Amino acid sequence: MFMVRVLIILLTGADASIGVNYGTLANDLPPPREVAEFLLHSTVINRIRLFDADPQILRAFAHTGIAVTVPVPNDQIPHLTNLSFAKRWISDHIQPHFPSTNIIRILVGNEVISTANHLLIRNLVPAMQSLHTALVSASLHRRIQITTPHSLGILSDSTPPSSAKFRQGYDTHVLKPLLSFLRTIGSPFVVNPYPFFGYSSDTLDFALFRPNPGLFDEDSKILYTNMLDAQLDSVYSAMDRLGFSDVEIVVGEIGWPSNGDKDQIGVDIATAAEFNKKVVARVNSGTGTPLMPNRTFETYIFALFNENLKSGPTSERNFGLFRSDLTPTYDIGILRPTVRTSNPESNPRSPVRGSSEKRWCVTKPGAETVALQRNIDYVCGLGLDCWPIKEGGPCYLPNTVEAHSSYAMNLFYQTMGKHEFDCDFDKTGKITALDPVISL
């Protein structure tokens, strides 16, 4: 069967994908609309995390399909325990943009436990509960998750990984209720592991996934060969100790600067490229970690841009994958060959929704197989749901590149809002009003 009418398109955490943190502490960044177009057309980045619920940015990502995570600032946490306030927050910041902007998650506060501000810490879980209730009232809770990101400062001790625990006091008073809530609503636990902030000259190779003597965990008898595995397994052990090993882990921030102060070792373009490239490969590989085998981790690289207004050491301003003119600081394999050649001038993205009539995108007769394979790789690489054309899936047969490509291209076309240009695919697609299932 040729299942082309699949309209339920979710960018799920289970699929390989690449996220970035879109920080904007800079005075030289391109307009959000340009950024959104660039990410959509020129990179395989399919998720972004914002640091500010900026309406201009939220509008810029409308109709791109890119999954967007929206933050709530720390100072709003005490107010959000008030349900009417939480409802207003959702109606002011989320509802004007959803579903045209693919908002998938709200992060309540940022590394709240590390602030040591008891007013915020005490109100964190109640604020999350209240926001969730507000989402339920708006019938958005099945589409938008609520969670909060943590630094590894939540661990009291992380060596060896198998003995890691959350900091005493916070473990039972905050993290346990938090994990319990996340489990109930099916949201992930978000952590920001930064091997960059954990290495010394002795452990640089360990941090960079290079050959090194490793870290032997006497208790579990596991030899850790890289710092990220050790950090993630420490988080896992601490969660497991409280009985929450089943809650999914998302890597909210991870990165390496490409420029630092003179005395800093391991800080240059080549090292940043090496680290980020290995991280992207690692988290998507399905290798997992010693305690979490065969998993992928939804991961957000820090950061999209160098941010020239950040304070602190030079490295703080140089975490960006891209410069402000959208040229890559270095390439980690996230730029993609242009699938669609149509340039924006000759083919403007319409702000209105495309055709609402029944239309399908299929392969043009005579299109080259390599181009069609590229279409499949592109669409499925975005994280769209391609399982029906995998072996055993309902649309696997006929097992031809042409049929699979039609499926993938149509999936993309339907997801992106059925604009004519969503079926261009470098002139290998055509829109048809004939239902391909019937006409087969």
Ligand X SMILES: *[C@@H]1O[C@H](CO)[C@@H](O)[C@H](O)[C@H]1NC(C)=O
Q: The tokens of 245 are what?
A: 């090993």
C-beta of 293: minimal distance to ligand X in Å?
5
Count the Cβ atoms, other than its own, within 10 Å of residue 55: 14
Indicate the residue among 293 and 366 with the shorter CB distance to ligand X: 293
Indicate the residue among 84 and 356 with the shorter CB distance to ligand X: 84
Indicate the residue among 82 and 117 with the shorter CB distance to ligand X: 82
Peptide bond into 303 cis (omega under 30): yes
Q: Using the CB atoms, write b or e for 75-86: b if 16+ within 10 Å.
A: ebbbebbeeebb
Indicate the residue among 100 and 284 with the shorter CB distance to ligand X: 284
Q: Which residues bind to ligand X, rule: CB under 6 A?
A: 82, 84-85, 88, 293-294
Upper half-sphere CA count for residue 168 (Cβ side, 13 Å): 0
Residue 423 CA to residue 363 CA, distance in Å, equals 9
Indicate the residue among 85 and 330 with the shorter CB distance to ligand X: 85
Cα angle 13, 14, 15 (rounded to 5 degrees) comes to 95
Residue 40 CA to residue 215 CA, distance in Å, equals 40
Look at residues 126, 115, 139 and name the one whose alpha carbon lies nearest to residue 174. 126
Indicate the residue among 88 and 167 with the shorter CB distance to ligand X: 88
Instruction: Report in angstroms the alpha-carbon separations of 418 from 36, 60, 97, 152, 409.
Output: 18, 18, 19, 43, 11
Peptide bond into 99 cis (omega under 30): yes
Instruction: Report in angstroms the alpha-carbon separations of 243 from 116, 236, 251, 273.
Output: 25, 10, 20, 37
Question: Which are the catalytic amino acids?
Answer: 111, 253
Look at residues 414, 424, 398, 327 and name the one whose alpha carbon lies nearest to residue 30. 327
C-beta of 110: minimal distance to ligand X in Å?
22
